[in-house]
Chain A
Amino acid sequence: MKITVENLSYIYAPGTPFEKAALRDINFTIESGDFVGLIGHSGSGKSTLVQHLNGLVKPTDGTIRIGERVITGKHADTKGLCFTVGLVFQYPEQQLFAETIYQDIAFGPSNMGLSPAEIDLRVRTAMDLVGLSPDLMEKSPFSISGGQKRRVAIAGVLAMEPKVLILDEPTAGLDPKGRDEILNSIRKIHKQMDMTVILVSHSMEDVAKYCDKLLVLNEGEVVLSGTLAEVFHHADTLTDIGLSVPQVTLAVHKLREKGIEIAENVFTVSEAISAIMKLRG
Chain B
Amino acid sequence: MFVELAPLVAPAEHVAVEAARPPLARRALRALPPFLYLAPGLACLLVWTYRPLVEAVQLSFYRWNLLPSRPKIPVGLDNYQQVVQLPELRHSLWLTVATILCLLPFSVLLPTIISLLTRRIRGRAGVAYRALVFAPVLVPPVASAAMWMWLLDPRHGLVDRMIGHPVNWLHERGPAQLAIIGITGWHLLGFAVLVVTAGLANINDEYSAAAQLDGATRRQITRWIILPLLSPTLVLLTLMTVLLSGQLTFPLIDALTQGGPDDATTNAYYLLWEYCFKSFNAGLASAAGLAFFLTFGLVALLLVWLFEKLSFHDN
Q: Are A and B subunits of one complex?
A: no
Could you list which residues of chain B lie within 8 angstroms of chain A, going by C-beta atoms? none
